[in-house]
Amino acid sequence: MDFTVDTATAAVEASFDATPDPRLREILQSLTRHLHGFVRETSPSIEEWNSAIEFLTDVGKTCTDTRQEFILLSDVMGVSMLVETINGQDVGTESTVLGPFHMTESPARELGESIDLLGGGRACVVSGTVRSTAGTPLANALVDVWQCTEDGFYDVQQPHVQPEGNGRGLFRTDEQGRFWFRTVVPSHYPIPTDGPVGRLLQATSRHPYRPAHVHFIAAADGYEEVTTHAFVAGSAYIDSDAVFAVKKGLLVDFVETDDTVLAAEFGVEPPFIHARFDIELQEKETL
Ligand code: BEZ
Ligand code: FE
């Protein structure tokens, strides 16, 4: 049959009919329909299509062992959050993007230890309890945290300034499911803008900033793992995250307190900043 604008989609869809894996077949045929629909709707010139291909080529060339520009593209297009939200647990703590800075293993730390290896910042304690969605505290749960400094940089972005593992910690909850650690209040910061994704943001008058947050991955045997953030309520860019990751339920007040009992419990001098972030995990379905 002649290839025409009207027959193109059916022809390409049919070319995948014999794909043995039914899920792969479904995905490729759906991709064909949507991709062709996009091309029909926008009717790109050959020049425009070539620049789209050049852009994607550039995205690929920017990727290295420590830089994943395709993930960044997926992030700024809101696709990472869409996939995360579709796959996230329907009850309990909501999930958000993993982001590109969980690239090194967090060092195991004792409860109460500081993840701020630089010192000198405003003392802050983050504490919480990991529970099942039925309310049972989960002892021995893993709580992996990572965050940037008060200046908005992760350790891996400043290898000559920050010690390795700064802003990172892997904690185990106590018998009552509790975790707590000392840190500094993270800052908002820009996602990497020195590549094609940065050019895309600039060409579309979009800013590159993420509101201040602490990353978490919480895991316990028999429960769904959750990748999420505690967002600093009131942070700059809280209403316009460059990667669309903010959810209302993840806003956390970082409050200055001079409560001496709380300070003694956490082993800090008052006044200090306290943030409470409880995490709820959904039980895994047993088949
Ligand atoms: C982050 O929060 O670390 C992050 C997430 C998406 C893109 C860039 C950074
Ligand atoms: Fe981050």
**Residue of minimum CA distance from atom 6 in ligand 1:** 99
The finding on whether 72 has its CB within 6 A of some atom of ligand 1 is: yes
Please state the domain extents for the chain. Answer: 8-43, 75-281
Q: Are 220 and 151 in contact (CB under 8 A)?
A: no
How many angstroms is it from 191 CA to the middle of ligand 1?
Answer: 6
Residue 286 has pLDDT above 80, yes or no: no
What is the fold, at CATH topology level, of the domain defined by 75-281? Protocatechuate 3,4-Dioxygenase, subunit A (2.60.130)
pLDDT cut 70: percent of the chain above it? 99
The confidence band for 10, taking pLDDT boundaries of 50, 70 and 90, is very high
Confidence at residue 262, expressed as pLDDT on a 0 to 100 scale: 93
- Ligand 1 binding pocket mutation candidate from 70, 243, 246, 247 (most atoms within 8 A of CB): 243
The finding on whether 100 has its CB within 6 A of some atom of ligand 1 is: yes
Residue 87 has pLDDT above 90, yes or no: no
Confidence at residue 127, expressed as pLDDT on a 0 to 100 scale: 98
The confidence band for 175, taking pLDDT boundaries of 50, 70 and 90, is very high
Confidence at residue 104, expressed as pLDDT on a 0 to 100 scale: 78
**Residue of minimum CA distance from atom 7 in ligand 1:** 99
Residue 96 has pLDDT above 90, yes or no: yes
Which CA distances in Å does 219 have to 86, 173, 215? Answer: 19, 10, 14
How many angstroms is it from 165 CA to the middle of ligand 2?
Answer: 15
Confidence at residue 36, expressed as pLDDT on a 0 to 100 scale: 97
Taking the C-alpha atoms of residue 26 and residue 32, their distance in angstroms, rounded to an integer, is 10
pTM for this entry? 0.92
Burial label, 148 (beta-carbon count in 10 A; 0-12, 13-18, 19+): buried
Confidence at residue 100, expressed as pLDDT on a 0 to 100 scale: 86
Average pLDDT over residues 134-159: 96
**Residue of minimum CA distance from atom 3 in ligand 1:** 99
Q: Are 117 and 162 in contact (CB under 8 A)?
A: yes
Confidence at residue 35, expressed as pLDDT on a 0 to 100 scale: 97
The finding on whether 152 has its CB within 6 A of some atom of ligand 1 is: no
The confidence band for 158, taking pLDDT boundaries of 50, 70 and 90, is very high
**Residue of minimum CA distance from atom 8 in ligand 1:** 191
Q: Are 177 and 124 in contact (CB under 8 A)?
A: no
Digit-coded pLDDT (tens) for 192-248: 999 999 999 999 999 999 999 999 999 999 999 999 999 999 999 999 999 999 999
How many angstroms is it from 36 CA to the middle of ligand 2?
Answer: 35
Residue 2 has pLDDT above 90, yes or no: no
The confidence band for 103, taking pLDDT boundaries of 50, 70 and 90, is confident
Digit-coded pLDDT (tens) for 16-64: 999 999 999 999 999 999 999 999 999 999 999 999 999 999 999 999 8
Taking the C-alpha atoms of residue 172 and residue 108, their distance in angstroms, rounded to an integer, is 9
Ligand minimally distant from the alpha carbon of residue 148? 2
pLDDT cut 90: percent of the chain above it? 87
Confidence at residue 120, expressed as pLDDT on a 0 to 100 scale: 82
Residue 287 has pLDDT above 70, yes or no: no
Average pLDDT over residues 64-72: 89
How many angstroms is it from 207 CA to the middle of ligand 1?
Answer: 14
How many angstroms is it from 130 CA to the middle of ligand 2?
Answer: 21
Ligand 1 atom with minimal separation from the 191 CA = 8
Confidence at residue 122, expressed as pLDDT on a 0 to 100 scale: 85
How many angstroms is it from 36 CA to the middle of ligand 1?
Answer: 31
**Residue of minimum CA distance from atom 5 in ligand 1:** 99
